[in-house]
Chain A
Amino acid sequence: GENVEQHPSTLSVQEGDSAVIKCTYSDSASNYFPWYKQELGKRPQLIIDIRSNVGEKKDQRIAVTLNKTAKHFSLHITETQPEDSAVYFCAASIVSGGGADGLTFGKGTHLIIQP
């Protein structure tokens, strides 16, 4: 089955700086890669996602890059703000005509924004 590795486990950055979180996956059949933000006691919230036919996607301060050959994808957050502090999970799944298989998550990155 799929295995997703995520690094680092904890990331502390100064407010206004950029943060980068990296993930690798093992199953070349995976074709969908979402990133979730989870605050304590709350449900995971999708912040950005990318399909395997796209190399990069951006949404305001958040961007994701995908390297299919190397089987890795990264989350980039620019101009970090205190409200960006949370746990971030990367995930991978296979999407077909019938729908999406379940997500395999990385272990998570605790992002801390220092004021």
Chain B
Amino acid sequence: DTGVSQDPRHKITKRGQNVTFRCDPISEHNRLYWYRQTLGQGPEFLTYFQNEAQLEKSRLLSDRFSAERPKGSFSTLEIQRTEQGDSAMYLCASSPQRDMNTEAFFGQGTRLTVV
């Protein structure tokens, strides 16, 4: 396994359109996270799955955003009715579940541009 994989790497869409991103985590990792990064900022937490269960959602995740991880493997993040403010780098990360804290491994991200 080569790491966390995200698709597409880049997406340009018109305002009002829907977009969907995919994340394939490291295979033995049961925790999966979505973050968003805008220019000049650090990544901001959006949501978190343990296996197929979505355990936490940030208030940044408006009702236009939905994330799924149906079989506890890959995950999708959908943004409906995109707005220019949604333009950002969307990062996926995964980590194994352990008794102690462990680092998360990030994918290369999907850069979304809403025009």
User: Do these two chains interact?
Assistant: no
